[in-house]
Amino acid sequence: MRVLGIESSCDDTAAAVLEGETVQSNVISSQHDLHEEYGGVVPELASRDHQRLIVPVVESALDEAETSPGALDAVAVTRGPGLPGSLLVGLSFGKALARGLDIPLIGVNHLEGHLYSVDLTAPVPPRPYLCLIVSGGHTELVHVEEGFQHRVLGRTRDDAAGEAFDKIAQLFGLGYPGGPAIDRHAEDGNPSFHDFPRTRLDDFDFSFSGLKTSVLYYLRDRSDAERDRLLDEHRDDLCASVQNAIVDVLVDAVRRAARETGAEHVAVVGGVAANRALRRRVEVAGSEEAFTVYVPDLSYCMDNAAMIARAGAHHLAAGDASPPYLDVTPNVQL
């Protein structure tokens, strides 16, 4: 079974070919340089760039996989969540291609893609497993069960962890994308420099808006000269302190969920799964709580089409296919 995956939910145009369990190609064209000067993704610019890139990116994925459109068995494409204009570009192309080739179209929830991205990297976690999704706009704890079944235990109530990283990075003058920049600076910083708040809710939901507001007030309540000196002399320490607060909340939730569900296997997926402190701390928690940790290769943590193809293959195996009138669902949840 050869599946073409297409991903265009935000600012990355991506296509991949999955044959059986093997990723034959995984091509990603990033728009980070395009949006950097604006400090975040500009939806209209993103959709226009997807229109420009979708054909060459898909062609590159097919060429790298040494296959042709006629050899495809299905097209899997992200239907949401994401930016409506960006999603429309990928879905419209995928629908047209599937219709022209007379093969199944599979609309994939972007979060399902992240959830099953661990299937792309050996070893693959056995079912059931607990999964922490930490991407730019989503923070969720999910219990994944046999038969492509999953149950959401908790999700973010406001800002996701990735959003908090990006917004706080702007306050620190680090630009966009902010998560990787904070990660880099935090490696040389003191995480105990300042004790930023941790919001721990009674259930497994997450909230990071309070942390963002705390950082804003911490900087605002200083004179311009004092703030400049603080950022000049202690930027690394501030990054480490903020990162420590976010990671504390995430790892604490994983520990509690693992105990409650009895999970022996825990996966961490999504763009923030590339954060080095998070990966280290989850491994420590695994050693202390007796669960095995699974994190995809970095290329599968960020938005990519291989994970969409993988989730699409799961749907295909279950006999699920989408109708030709499938539309984007920008706010769809798991």
Q: Is the pLDDT of residue 136 over 90?
A: no
Alpha-carbon distance 328 to 333, whole Å? 13
CA angle 129, 24, 180 (to 5 degrees): 60
Alpha-carbon distance 96 to 324, whole Å? 9
Q: Is the pLDDT of residue 36 over 80?
A: no
Q: Is the pLDDT of residue 108 over 80?
A: yes
Alpha-carbon distance 115 to 118, whole Å? 7
Angle in degrees, 0-180, between the axes of helices 224-261 and 276-289, rounded to the nearest 10: 30
pLDDT number for residue 6? 98
Q: Confidence class of residue 170 from pLDDT cuts 50, 70 and 90?
A: very high
pLDDT of 193-217, one tens digit each? 999 999 988 789 999 999 999 999 9
Q: In 3D, which of 139, 192, 145 has the Cα closest to residue 161?
A: 139
Q: What is the mean pLDDT of the chain?
A: 94
- Helices (H), strands (E): how many in the chain? 11, 10
Alpha-carbon distance 36 to 42, whole Å? 10
Exposure on the CB side of residue 121, measured as CA atoms within 13 A = 18
pLDDT of 309-326, one tens digit each? 999 999 999 999 999 999
- Residue 235: left (phi > 0), alpha (psi -120 to 50), or beta? alpha
pLDDT number for residue 39? 73
Cα 322 from chain centre: 24
Angle in degrees, 0-180, between the axes of helices 209-220 and 224-261, rounded to the nearest 10: 160
Q: What is the mean pLDDT of residues 182-190?
A: 97
Q: What is the mean pLDDT of residues 31-60?
A: 85
Q: Confidence class of residue 228 from pLDDT cuts 50, 70 and 90?
A: very high
Tokens of 321: 């296919």
Q: Is the pLDDT of residue 258 over 80?
A: yes
Comparing 38 with 110, the larger pLDDT belongs to 110
Comparing 214 with 32, the larger pLDDT belongs to 214
pLDDT number for residue 124? 95
What is 258-283 written as a DSSP string?
HHHHT-SEEEEESGGGG-HHHHHHHH
How many beta carbons lie within 10 A of that of residue 147, not counting itself?
Answer: 9
CB-CB contact of 83 with 43 (8 Å):
yes
Query: Which residue matches tokens 């970095």?
Result: 298
Domains of the chain with bracketed CATH: 2-115+300-317 (3.30.420.40), 124-295 (3.30.420.40)
Measured CA to CA in angstroms, residue 304 lies from 18, 25, 81, 266, 277 at distances of 12, 11, 14, 21, 23
What is 14-38 written as a DSSP string?
EEEEEETTEEEEEEEEE-HHHHGGG
Q: Confidence class of residue 252 from pLDDT cuts 50, 70 and 90?
A: very high
Q: Confidence class of residue 236 from pLDDT cuts 50, 70 and 90?
A: very high
Percent of the chain with pLDDT over 70: 100
Alpha-carbon distance 152 to 334, whole Å? 7
pLDDT number for residue 46? 82
What are the E-state strand segments in the chain?
Answer: 2-7, 12-19, 22-30, 74-80, 105-109, 129-134, 139-145, 149-155, 265-269, 292-294
CB-CB contact of 135 with 114 (8 Å):
yes
3-class DSSP state of 70:
helix
